[in-house]
């Protein structure tokens, strides 16, 4: 097996392990309705993770995507969820909010050289603060009915969020793997100085990644709003870190310049399946957290092994050789 | 009302006044805007013996408003004592600090509003310093409390978002009396605690669930946040009830952070796993509405639900017609905490625990509680007047 193929298949380790565990311990996992649920849950995270992937390839990190999701719900409820409210204005507002947040993140990170983790954390706090200020803690409307099919609807047996997420993944794949923008993105992330010297506008590329991530989060927010159907001020909580975990598990490097849509999608599927299986098994919450942490840790470590040049040049020469070479990497 | 028991602050105060007038000499004296100012004297909460009676009676009587058997009170219900607060009596205008939960969503927003409203109504001249901390920022709450102590308040009210024992002890060491308002701490350095007994709330919902399925069936339980006393106490109360009935099986339990999304996701999973779910016990309305949506989406009949009086939960009950019980935890009880702090600064003997009475009702009372002209995100009963609700955009005129 070539190194390239192994790298592509490595993210599949988690979903494969989950499926094996489900075969052994909980066959209800394979219930078609449950698989629909898993795929729908995965689709929400996948959309967010696609945006995060673009940011990470560009050598960044976006901790504000969860806040964007919650803001999307908030604006929908406040603008379109009241009597006489307009869904068109609400949609314009959520896209505008996403753009503003993304542009501000991009300006801070790309042009002001504020570390991405600080800039987007600040944005997260700012957005949360503005949301509380605007609403005074209370939502004054309901999730508009017209949005709900986006989250709970199906085309045949396939949930609409899955169709949208797959479409988004394909478009994202074309953007980053098949376009000149993608080539400049990878180059900027891998070696910003060299890219700059070769004429790539690294700052603009990096700023654009945050705008794209924010817009993906808006899309996820729309679908999640339809799925929940209620105002839930913690709707986006956790999507920031989960999306980063998915991207890293999918083989992307936090040092930038590496990552694939395929790997991210498979990792997302694995995480969603793991969450689902743990609920099905009725695992105690403390054990659940420990298990998830262990799986993530092992997956990241093994991903590091798979990606390691030393590992592949050493090849399979027994445990001792493997241990030695791994230690040396 | 036949099946409703709602004793709010006024009722408690009236009971206290009656108790004072009848016999008790130990919990008399003062509470006015100028604590200890020697003006007209009233107590705002009943004393320890009365509080013990109130709590013990709550275990016995609250279930009966639903026609359920009394619940055996736990030992701690009998352990409420009087606390002499004469050392904290001050003259002049009190300065009270309140380390409160940030109004990030409707429950704390109403909670905070109730404090402000109580101050404006009863104690307009006091200095009230409010400092909020966001949920999930539990560590920073201790720093917030320390910042408040620097301002040398006469009394400190804390809404503990976690165990703030160290900060409570620090305040006590500085001679500042502490009132724990909605929550607890692993220390005895505070003067008193004002809260609803969450064990009781959980147990009442569970007793109602048990009866609704004729003491036999498969149920799902949905809790709030793992490790938070409010959620854990409610779960313990529910579990203590379900354990009494061998034919009731808890087929699944999940923590949902009181989130609609998490409640829906968990219930979707359980619906694929179990063909039979006879009832759902939820310790909060947030996850309950999500779980109900999961039943709707799956095309399954919605079984009896235990939840809370959130207008959105009641809307679903009205639209879908399922059987339910709502056991309240009204955010407006924060105003009682201010009353108690004023009592302490007036040197009034206070009980070590003040149990807040809550609304408890089932489907038969739905029309009296559901506000179809108001938003989902409205906790009932609300401290706001109809005019204020309309003005704030929470209800239509």
Q: What's the Cα-to-Cα distance from A229 to each of A108, A114, A296, A319, B82, rounded to whole Å?
A: 34, 37, 31, 53, 48
pLDDT by position in tens, chain A (length 329): 566 777 777 788 889 999 999 999 998 999 999 999 999 999 999 999 999 999 999 999 999 999 999 999 999 999 999 888 999 999 999 999 999 999 999 999 999 999 999 999 999 999 988 888 888 878 888 899 999 999 999 999 999 999 999 999 999 999 999 999 999 999 999 999 999 999 999 999 999 999 999 999 999 999 999 999 998 888 998 899 999 999 999 989 889 999 999 999 999 999 999 999 999 998 888 888 888 888 778 766 766 655 554 433 433 333 333 333 333 22
A→B interface, C-beta within 8 Å? 28, 31, 33-34, 37, 41, 82-83, 128, 132, 136-142, 152, 224, 227-235, 237, 276, 279-280, 282, 285-286
CA B394 to chain centre: 22
Confidence at B136, pLDDT banded by 50, 70, 90 = low
Model ipTM?
A: 0.82
Q: In angstroms, what separates the C-alpha of B221 from chain A's closest C-alpha?
A: 12
Burial of A297 (0-12, 13-18, 19+ CB in 10 A): exposed
- Residues of chain B in contact with residue A138, where contact means CB-CB under 8 angstroms, are 105-106, 109-110, 375, 377-378, 392, 394
Q: What is the pLDDT of residues B303-361, one digit of tens each?
A: 999 999 999 999 999 999 999 999 999 888 899 999 999 999 999 999 999 988 899 99
Please report whether residue A306 resides in a domain: no
- Residues of chain B in contact with residue A285, where contact means CB-CB under 8 angstroms, are 226, 255
**Contact state of B273 with A31 under an 8 Å Cβ cutoff:** yes
Residue A197 is encoded by which pair of tokens?
Answer: 């010297």
| Domain covering B198-327: architecture | 3-Layer(aba) Sandwich (3.40)
Statement: B9-196+333-358 belongs to CATH 1.10.1070.20: no
For residue B212, what are the contacts with CB-CB under 8 A and spacing of at least 6? B279, B304, B323, B325
Q: In angstroms, what separates the C-alpha of A188 from chain B's closest C-alpha?
A: 36
Please report whether residue A319 resides in a domain: no
B/e letters for A261-273, b = 16+ CB within 10 Å, e = fewer, are: bbbbbbbbbbbbb
Residue B386 is encoded by which pair of tokens?
Answer: 């109809």
Q: In angstroms, what separates the C-alpha of B272 from chain A's closest C-alpha?
A: 6
Residue of A nearest to B390 (CA): A140
- The pLDDT score that the predictor gives to residue B10 is 39
- Residues of chain A in contact with residue B287, where contact means CB-CB under 8 angstroms, are none
Q: In angstroms, what separates the C-alpha of A136 from chain B's closest C-alpha?
A: 7
Query: From the candidates B109, B231, B265, which should be mutated to test the interface with A, based on the most A CB atoms within 10 A?
Result: B265
Structural domain count, chain A:
1
Average pLDDT over residues B197-223: 97
Q: In angstroms, what separates the C-alpha of A73 from chain B's closest C-alpha?
A: 12
Q: In angstroms, what separates the C-alpha of B355 from chain A's closest C-alpha?
A: 26
- Residues of chain A in contact with residue B375, where contact means CB-CB under 8 angstroms, are 138-142
- Residues of chain A in contact with residue B266, where contact means CB-CB under 8 angstroms, are 279
Please indicate if any CB of chain A lies within 8 Å of the CB of B294.
no
The answer to whether domain B9-196+333-358 and domain B198-327 are alike in fold is yes
CB-nearest to A279 from B254, B257, B396 is B254
For residue A174, what are the contacts with CB-CB under 8 A and spacing of at least 6? none
Residue A121 is encoded by which pair of tokens?
Answer: 């954390």
Query: From the candidates B115, B254, B258, B269, which should be mutated to test the interface with A, based on the most A CB atoms within 10 A?
Result: B269
Domain ranges of chain B: 9-196+333-358, 198-327
Question: Does the N-terminal peptide bond of residue A326 adopt cis geometry, omega within 30 degrees of 0?
Answer: no
Please report whether residue A120 resides in a domain: yes
- Residue B324 bridge partners (DSSP): B305
What residue numbers bound the domain in which A250 lies?
31-282
Please report whether residue A324 resides in a domain: no
**Contact state of A33 with B271 under an 8 Å Cβ cutoff:** yes
Query: From the candidates B105, B222, B252, B320, which should be mutated to test the interface with A, based on the most A CB atoms within 10 A?
Result: B105
Q: What is the pLDDT of residues B173-182, one digit of tens each?
A: 999 999 999 8
Distance CA A26, CA B252 (A): 14
Which of A114, A17, A55 is CA-nearest to residue A252?
A55
Q: In angstroms, what separates the C-alpha of B269 from chain A's closest C-alpha?
A: 6
**Contact state of A132 with B272 under an 8 Å Cβ cutoff:** no
The tally of CA atoms less than 13 A away on the side-chain side of residue B364 is 9
CB-nearest to B261 from A139, A228, A276 is A228
Q: Which CATH number does the domain housing residue A202 bear?
A: 1.10.3470
**Do B45 and B51 form a contact (C-beta atoms < 8 A)?**
yes
Which of B82, B93, B171 is CA-nearest to residue B350?
B82
Distance CA A211, CA A213 (A): 5
């Amino acid at each position: 097996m070539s190194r390239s193929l192994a790298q592509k298949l490595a993210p599949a380790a988690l979903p494969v392990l989950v499926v094996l565990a489900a075969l052994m311990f909980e066959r209800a996992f394979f219930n078609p309705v449950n698989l629909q649920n898993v795929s729908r849950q995965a689709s929400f995270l996948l959309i967010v993770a696609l945006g995060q992937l673009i940011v990470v390839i560009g050598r960044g990190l976006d901790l504000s995507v969860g806040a964007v999701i919650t803001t999307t719900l908030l604006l929908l409820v406040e603008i379109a969820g009241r009597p006489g409210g307009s869904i068109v204005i609400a949609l314009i507002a959520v896209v505008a909010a996403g753009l503003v947040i993304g542009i501000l993140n991009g300006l801070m990170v790309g042009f002001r050289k504020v570390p991405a983790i600080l800039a987007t954390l600040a944005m997260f706090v700012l957005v949360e603060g503005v949301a509380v200020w605007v609403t005074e803690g209370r939502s004054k409307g309901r999730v508009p009915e017209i949005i709900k099919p986006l989250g709970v609807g199906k085309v045949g047996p396939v949930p609409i969020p899955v169709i949208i997420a797959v479409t988004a993944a394909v478009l994202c794949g074309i953007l980053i793997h098949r376009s000149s923008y993608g080539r400049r993105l990878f180059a900027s992330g891998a070696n910003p100085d060299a890219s700059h010297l070769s004429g790539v506008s690294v700052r603009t590329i990096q700023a654009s990644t945050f705008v794209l991530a924010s817009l993906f989060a808006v899309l996820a927010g729309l679908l999640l709003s339809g799925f929940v159907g209620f105002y839930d001020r913690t709707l986006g909580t956790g999507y920031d870190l989960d999306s980063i975990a998915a991207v890293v598990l999918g083989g992307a490097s936090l040092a930038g310049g590496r990552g694939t849509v395929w790997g991210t999608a498979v990792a997302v599927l694995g995480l969603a399946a793991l969450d689902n299986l743990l609920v099905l098994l009725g695992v105690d919450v403390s054990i659940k957290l420990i298990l998830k942490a262990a799986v993530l840790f092992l997956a990241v470590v093994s991903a590091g092994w798979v990606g390691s040049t030393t590992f592949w040049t050493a090849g399979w020469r027994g445990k001792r050789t493997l241990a030695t070479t791994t230690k040396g990497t | 009302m036949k099946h409703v028991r709602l004793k709010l602050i006024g009722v408690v105060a009236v009971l206290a006044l009656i108790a004072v007038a009848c016999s008790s000499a130990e919990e008399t004296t003062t509470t006015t805007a100028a604590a200890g100012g020697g003006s007209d004297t009233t107590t705002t909460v009943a004393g320890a013996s009365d509080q013990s009676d109130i709590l013990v009676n709550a275990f016995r009587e609250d279930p009966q408003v639903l026609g359920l058997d009394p619940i055996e009170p736990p030992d701690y219900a009998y352990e409420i004592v009087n606390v002499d607060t004469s050392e904290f009596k001050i003259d002049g205008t009190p300065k009270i600090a309140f380390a409160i939960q940030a109004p990030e969503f409707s429950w704390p927003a109403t909670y905070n509003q109730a404090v402000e409203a109580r101050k404006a109504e009863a104690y307009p001249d006091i200095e009230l310093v409010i400092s909020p901390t966001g949920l999930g920022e539990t560590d920073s709450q201790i720093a917030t409390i320390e910042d408040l102590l620097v301002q040398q308040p006469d009394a400190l009210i804390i809404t503990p978002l976690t165990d703030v024992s160290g900060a409570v002890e620090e305040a006590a060491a500085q001679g500042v009396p502490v009132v724990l308002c909605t929550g607890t701490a692993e220390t005895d350095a505070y003067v008193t605690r004002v809260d609803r007994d969450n064990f009781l709330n959980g147990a009442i919902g569970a007793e109602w669930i048990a009866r609704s399925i004729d003491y036999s069936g498969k149920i799902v339980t949905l809790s709030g946040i793992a490790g938070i006393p409010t959620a854990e106490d409610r779960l313990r109360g529910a579990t203590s009830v379900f354990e009494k009935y061998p034919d009731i099986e808890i087929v699944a339990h999940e923590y949902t952070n009181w989130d609609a999304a998490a409640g829906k996701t968990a219930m979707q999973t359980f619906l694929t796993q179990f063909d039979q779910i006879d009832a759902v016990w939820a310790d909060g309305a947030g996850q309950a509405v999500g779980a109900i949506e999961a039943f709707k989406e799956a095309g399954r009949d919605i079984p009896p639900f235990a939840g809370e009086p959130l207008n959105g939960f009641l809307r679903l009950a009205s639209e879908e017609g399922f059987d339910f019980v709502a056991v309240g935890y009204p955010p407006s009880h924060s105003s009682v905490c201010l009353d108690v702090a004023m009592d302490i600064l007036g040197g009034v003997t206070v009980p070590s625990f003040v149990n807040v009475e809550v609304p408890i009702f089932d489907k038969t009372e739905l029309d009296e509680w559901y506000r179809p002209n108001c938003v989902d995100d409205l906790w009932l009963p609300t401290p706001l007047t109809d005019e204020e609700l309309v003005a704030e955009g929470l209800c239509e005129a």
